[in-house]
Amino acid sequence: MKDLKKFLAILISTLLVLSMAGCSSPTDNKQPELPEETPAVEQTGMKPGKYTAAFRGYKSDVKVETEVDSEKIISVKVVEHKETDGIGTHAVDRLPKSIVDNQSVKVDTISGATTTSYAIINAVTDALKQSGADMKKFELGPSTPTPKDVTLDTDIVVIGAGAAGLSAALEARRNGAEVIVVEKMDITGGNTIRSSGAFNVAGHKLQIEADKGRKDVEDFIKFTMTGGHDMNDPDLVRYMIENSAGIVDWITEVGFEARIGETYQSFTVPGYAPGLIIGLQEYFEEQGGTVMLSTKATEIILKDGSAAGIIAEGADGGKVTINADAVIIAAGGYGANLDWIAELDPNLKGFVTNNHPGATGDGIVMAQAVGAAVRDLNEIQTHPTVHVPTATMMTEGCRNAGGILVNTSGKRFTNEVNYRDIVSEAILSQDQGFAYLIINQEIVDSNGNIQGYYDIGVLQKFDTIADLAKFMSVEENVLQETMDKWNKAVAEENDPEFESKFSWIRDLSVGPWYSVAVSPGIHHTMGGIVINTNAEVISTEGQVIPGLFACGEVTGGVHGGNRVGGNAILDCLVFGKTAGEKSASYVNK
């Protein structure tokens, strides 16, 4: 922990400026003045017109145009932004209407998209001040809605709208069931939408035809079991990997274009993780499914020992009862529940997390309350390369494509593409507990996610090794020697120091180069609800709980003591599809 505190002190100067204001009147950059012949407005009056302002969002400046008359806000429009699809875009689409409807800048932000929300709110506030508004009038919060209790009936209710929940819902709907999905956040996507969007596959025809990637299912099963320290449930691992090739065909069947990654071991869809989530939700709703946002499940209903629905809290605070013949728990893990994590593993106290704020373990708690068995709750994975000040995870694609990790002496110290827990331990063992990730332009160009890190100011760019060395506070000749050794190792496909694999790795001989200081952060929770290969929940007595299913990070056993990178979304898709199919069969029997 001392190392981590030193690391935080060193990095504090790199904190991003999260809000950057700029504004202009309808005609120029000066405060608008009333014509001499116009009577002075009262304190609460505004000069009618359109006013613009721009504040920093998560990835870009968010430029907002606000139109007012003398008394009220007429319209709010986001006219320019580059915020993340499926996250920031929810704030862009929904917050302007909320501001106009409530005639207030004191509106609720969109959970999961708070940075973009505040950029819009700040821009509207700035515009109102330009217009001469009395801000007290527009800083009254919206009236509190009267809670209303609601009762709904459906065949299947799904808790959680990440990749697992949406896959389950879509497949259940495709099998003829009426399905409602409840999501406690204001947006869908869970942890998936924050990921790179890549999922591992073994034995797909594209891999076999290209003679690249993981062609052998048995080899990948062994790799996954070894990565999980052989703590995994072997039946779940085999089921997931044997169905991995089929899941590529499934996502193609439901409307996606499956694309094989350059390493041939993983696949993505256009738009990466946001594209996957947006597509799954759209396909589900087009099939007649229902997604209820801002609806937090609190209890699973049991009748005569079988799942019979859920109780939830609605957006207005009212009680929502959903009667159903089957329940699918897909509420995600507990990687954002830092207090619980510290109890389970005191060594992780003080670590940052890159999980979305809704990953608090609710689904596990609800399942335990109805007798479900759980396992491996103390198995919590750190991702080795996290930019601590912003909790931004640097995707495995950086290292898989040839990025290296260098310590404060300017030297490599580990096999960068080893299992995550091993690389994390190696970084924490270095002086001050952090390292520098180094990549070049070719690697940035290979993956749209990596370009995004530069866009938000996390990655720093350097035209020379000398400038890079200065950024890292290391001797230029030492860093140059490290780079030369790496480039030679790649050329010869032989890394005598750390035995890295070279089937897809690039060298770093040509700049410009990019770097960021990284240290481990909480990334994935391997423990959770016990299930079988039908995604059925198992009780503490070892029996199936009728009508209760679970999938995704809320479950335990698939990943054992350490998750292999690229297996999380595969887990969500395979067991999500299975939960949807099996629950539909259950309610239709």
**Any idea what the Cα angle at residue 318 is, between residues 313 and 321, rounded to 5°?**
60
Pairwise CA distance, residues 438 & 444, whole Å: 11
What beta strand segments (E) does 48-189 contain? Answer: 49-56, 61-68, 73-80, 150-153, 156-159, 179-182
Contact 396, 418 (CB under 8 A): no
Nearest to 529 by CA among 302, 352, 370, 309: 370
Active site residue 420: yes
Catalytic annotation, pick one of 375, 420, 506, 563: 420
Nearest to 524 by CA among 491, 496, 556: 556
Nearest to 548 by CA among 166, 159, 184: 159
Render 225-275 in DSSP notation, one character per residue: HHHTTT-S-HHHHHHHHHTHHHHHHHHHHTT---EE-TTSSEEE-TTHHHH
Backbone φ and ψ for 451, nearest 5 degrees, come out as -60, -35
Quick one: tokens of 428?
């924490």
The residues, any chain, with a CB within 8 Å of residue 79's CB and separated by 6 or more, are: 52, 63, 64, 65
Render 185-206 in DSSP notation, one character per residue: SSSS-TTGGGS---EE--S-HH
Which single residue is written with the structure tokens 């942890």? 191
Q: In the 8-state DSSP scheme, what is residue 157?
A: E
Burial, 410: exposed, middle or buried (Cβ in 10 Å; 0-12, 13-18, 19+)?
buried
**Helix 272-286 and helix 163-174, axial crossing angle in degrees, nearest 10:** 30
Fill in the amino acid letter for 546: P
Pairwise CA distance, residues 262 & 516, whole Å: 24
Taking only Cα atoms into account, the Rg of the chain, rounded to an integer number of angstroms, comes to 26
> 175-193: b or e for each residue (b if 16 or more CB lie within 10 Å)?
bebbbbbbbbbbbbbbbbb
Pairwise CA distance, residues 546 & 287, whole Å: 26
Nearest to 563 by CA among 200, 203, 212: 200
**Any idea what the Cα angle at residue 154 is, between residues 153 and 157, rounded to 5°?**
115
Q: In the 8-state DSSP scheme, what is residue 27?
A: S
Quick one: tokens of 519?
């240290």
Which single residue is written with the structure tokens 């990025």? 403
Indicate which residues carry an active-site annotation: 420
